[in-house]
A and B are shown apart, each in its own frame.
Chain A
Amino acid sequence: MPNSAMKKKVLLMGKSGSGKTSMRSIIFANYIARDTRRLGATIDVEHSHVRFLGNLVLNLWDCGGQDTFMENYFTSQRDNIFRNVEVLIYVFDVESRELEKDMHYYQSCLEAILQNSPDAKIFCLVHKMDLVQEDQRDLIFREREEDLRRLSRPLECACFRTSIWDETLYKAWSSIVYQLIPNVQQLETNLRNFAQIIEADEVLLFERATFLVISHYQCKEQRDVHRFEKISNIIKQFKLSCSKLAASFQSMEVRNSNFAAFIDIFTSNTYVMVVMSDPSIPSAATLINIRNARKHFEKLERVDGPKHSLLMR
């Protein structure tokens, strides 16, 4: 019986300067509080209160390349760090000139995972891909992916190539989140039913802290493939503005003669966005539908109960 007080961790690790703090800041909409280049390694364990998908806590660690003080601290705290890990996300800088060293540090992290949290899911992000020429990106990524898969045995790792300057970062993290949700197929089926019943054009389910898309349903082809990330960025920007006024974002309605869109809190871990292209349906109707659906989806989460720690309150 897992101790419900112990939070499960998502470890975000990688060499110092590989882009983890920026990544965390962008995905979770935190301000970058300081210039991490100047201060060197990030010590981020106890201060991270970012909750994610229920009760997952995000921890950042610099792994490899820091000074001996950090190295010793890291080694002494090793078991502590790698215990109770749900997800390990390891970030590789594609421009790094010390490939051997990077792989070495990665393998030592994997060893620690094998010892302390053998059920953890492992994801590898090959980051800063915008610095590679476009025509070479696929080739370089595939090479890296092969190497990483080989090195990770017997554990399985999923690889993504990312850059903060295009949609790949958002997509990678959305895929990661998607794989972390235990009953995602059931969620998708229910979402489809919901959408068809209320005659919505599109329904999206977002994770609450990061606005990463967990699942979506659309009844016809949409033109803009980047729309998920755009909505996520817009809302996170709005949340930042709200926090300046000590207000918190709850819901939004956008309406014109062509469509009406509603963004609202859904379950304890998700937000929903409903797009209706029939403007004659009054807002009130859609909002009531969302309210009733909410009750159903919450029941859905609770049914799968305590054995899915992700959805525990």
Chain B
Amino acid sequence: MANVDDKHHLISEVDHEVHPGPMNIQFDSSDLRSKRPFYIEPTNIVNVNDVIQRVSDHASALNKRIHYYSRLSTPADTALIAPDHVVPAPEECYVYSPLGSAYKLKSYTEGYGKNTSLVTIFMIWNTMMGTSILSIPWGIKQAGFTTGMCIIMLMGLLTLYCCYRVVKSRDTIHSLNTTTWEYPDVCRYYFGSFGQWSSLLCSLVSLVGAMIVYWVLMSNFLFNTGKFIFNFVHHINDTDTILGANNSNLVICPSPGSGGHSDNDSMIFYANDTAVQQFEKWWNRSKTVPFYLIGLLLPLLNFKSPSFFSKFNILGTVSVLYLIFLVTLKSIQLGFHLEFHWFVPTEFFVPEIRFHFPQLTGVLTLAFFIHNCIITLLKNNKNQENNVRDLCIAYMLVTLTYLYIGVLVFASFPSPPLSKDCIEQNFLDNFPSGDILSFIARIFLLFQMMTVYPLLGYLARVQLLGHVFGDVYPSIFHVLIFNIIIVGAGVIMACFYPNIGGIIRYSGAACGLAFVFIYPSLIYMISLHREERLTWPKLIFHIFIIILGLANLIAQFFV
């Protein structure tokens, strides 16, 4: 043990002994600058007595703690994430250097809650605008014009109310920290694992339904695009031979008589031309094109993270705006053709009130569906107290958009030569493949869908594989099998049942049943009952909503 006497020995020993001490960075005392990994220039060293803004010891201890805890768990594990009451408010956060001086950042917001109301409303509108917009005119036709308009507005109000219940559902849970919860977590809290699995199932139904619709539409658009290009290159104008209106802005009725969907238009008229024949053989809407898409899209589905595709999000907005422009232009050119017959169908018109109206409600359930992600979208709103107001405005805008497109397409459909019954489930099919404006629309939508398809696949994969296997990417084989099943379903539908209106209404009614109608109402009633505030009017009203949802689903099979 070194004592006072030994001190001299210690210092003199340094010169002639290579001390076998610890194997750390050791250097000659004479050269204080060599081999220092973290050497601070003397000018940067602040004197301890300088009066500068210093970080309090408590704050720096908390900082160190948080840094250390973050190394102990994965980002997904919330057990060691600092809760709000522990972390200082953003205004009190500073950036400090290890030397002790502290700087306050002016624009420190961390992306949390920095969206203005306008941006939030736009994001909600953008997310809700899906491909169901193409089926709204068909839905109005199925329900009757007046009934259709009324139903669109009523469904908008009903789904808005249920969405409001979803947004308020987290506030009913007081005992837990729900800041990171999404709606499926709330369902799991109230209904246990049944709630978790059923909400997973419904979410998957909506995602897989959307992906199948996308495949059908993509085959359709790809087919029409290819046909346009082929006709353009070979200077074929085949629009004269198809049943169409007698003016330059053509609208066609691809399937005379209801039902049936002709895959290969204009085949019989060009039997002599072998080039066209070959083309028709290899480029068929339901027999070959769906398979060509496999080569394009199946590889994209296997990516671990499709964040690359989310950069193309703007294409969706552009497509919708272009559709609005297209519809406006066409209706100006075609004019309005409306006649009101209330109950009896005529040769060219459909009655105002029809019994097929549940088909429209089914389509609208998916058209107004945003309940599984509305909480996340509203979380980033800067002024949280405006959440409800912004939600109402967004729903109103969506309803107006759907009404606008639906009513205009329906009203401007040239009825004297064609029957309103001709309105297709995808209203772009009513325009011939030679029409330039709709060709542009199809190209936009084709590209947009090709970028959204991998995102949908990723969401479905993460939810299903994450819950069943516990790992979102168990192995390339699991993922490949999953993708092949989904793609296979899309291809089969595109070949045998390419009626997107049908697919949308079945999947919409099924997944909407849980998320839109049953869970919000049930959770609200349960939370009121727990607080003993459940009154008879509220009970009856919400049970009525649940019955409506069930009726919606059951009616899809009978109408």
Instruction: Give A residues with C-beta under 8 Å from B.
Output: 21-22, 25-26, 29-32, 35-37, 130-131, 164-167, 194, 197-198, 223-227, 229-230, 233-234, 236-237, 240-241, 250-253, 256-258, 264-265, 282-285, 287-289, 291-293, 295-296
B22 x A264 contact (CB < 8 A) = yes
In whole angstroms, how far apart are the Cα atoms of A285 and B2 in the complex?
11
Contact of B48 among A30, A236, A258 (CB under 8 A): A258
Nearest neighbor of B11 in chain A, beta-carbon distance:
A285
B29 x A165 contact (CB < 8 A) = no
Q: Most chain-B CB neighbours within 10 Å: which of A37, A130, A194, A288?
A: A288
Known contacts: A251-B24, A256-B40. The answer to whether A130 contacts B83 by CB under 8 A is yes
In whole angstroms, how far apart are the Cα atoms of A234 and B82 in the complex?
18
Told that A130-B83, A194-B1, A285-B11 touch, could you supply 10 new A-B pairs with CB distance under 8 A?
A: A37-B79, A131-B85, A164-B65, A224-B61, A250-B24, A251-B23, A253-B25, A256-B40, A284-B21, A285-B10
| Distance between A98 CB and nearest chain B CB, rounded to angstroms | 13
B residues near A289, Cβ cutoff 8 Å? 2, 10
Interface residues of B in 69-102 (CB under 8 A from A): 69, 71-74, 76-77, 79-80, 82-83, 85-86
B residues near A295, Cβ cutoff 8 Å? 1
Known contacts: A230-B60, A289-B2. The answer to whether A165 contacts B82 by CB under 8 A is yes
Contact of B26 among A25, A229, A284 (CB under 8 A): A284
Contact of A288 among B10, B62, B73, B79 (CB under 8 A): B10
In whole angstroms, how far apart are the Cα atoms of A287 and B62 in the complex?
32
A residues near B45, Cβ cutoff 8 Å? 256-258
In whole angstroms, how far apart are the Cα atoms of A29 and B69 in the complex?
9
Nearest neighbor of A170 in chain B, beta-carbon distance:
B65
The majority secondary structure among interface residues of chain A is: helix
Tell me how many residues of B have a C-beta within 8 Å of chain A: 42
Known contacts: A164-B69, A296-B1. The answer to whether A234 contacts B22 by CB under 8 A is no
| Distance between B490 CB and nearest chain A CB, rounded to angstroms | 33
B residues near A227, Cβ cutoff 8 Å? 57
A residues near B73, Cβ cutoff 8 Å? 25, 31-32
Known contacts: A250-B22, A264-B22. The answer to whether A32 contacts B42 by CB under 8 A is no
Nearest neighbor of B29 in chain A, beta-carbon distance:
A282
A285 x B64 contact (CB < 8 A) = no
Contact of A22 among B3, B14, B64, B79 (CB under 8 A): B79
A234 x B64 contact (CB < 8 A) = yes
In whole angstroms, how far apart are the Cα atoms of A92 and B83 in the complex?
20
A22 x B80 contact (CB < 8 A) = yes
User: What are 30 A-B contacts defined by CB distance under 8 Å?
Assistant: A25-B73, A29-B72, A30-B72, A32-B72, A32-B74, A32-B79, A32-B80, A130-B85, A130-B86, A131-B85, A165-B86, A197-B3, A198-B2, A224-B57, A224-B61, A226-B60, A226-B61, A229-B61, A230-B60, A230-B64, A233-B68, A234-B68, A237-B67, A251-B24, A264-B22, A283-B26, A288-B10, A288-B21, A289-B10, A296-B1
A residues near B3, Cβ cutoff 8 Å? 197
In whole angstroms, how far apart are the Cα atoms of A197 and B40 in the complex?
30
| Distance between A71 CB and nearest chain B CB, rounded to angstroms | 20
A residues near B58, Cβ cutoff 8 Å? 226
Is there a chain A Cβ closer than 8 Å to B19's Cβ? Answer: yes
Is there a chain A Cβ closer than 8 Å to B268's Cβ? Answer: no
Interface residues of B in 1-49 (CB under 8 A from A): 1-4, 10-11, 13-14, 19, 21-26, 29, 40, 42, 45, 48
In whole angstroms, how far apart are the Cα atoms of A292 and B76 in the complex?
48
In whole angstroms, how far apart are the Cα atoms of A252 and B37 in the complex?
12
Known contacts: A165-B82, A240-B71, A289-B2. The answer to whether A265 contacts B22 by CB under 8 A is yes
In whole angstroms, how far apart are the Cα atoms of A286 and B57 in the complex?
29
B82 x A252 contact (CB < 8 A) = no
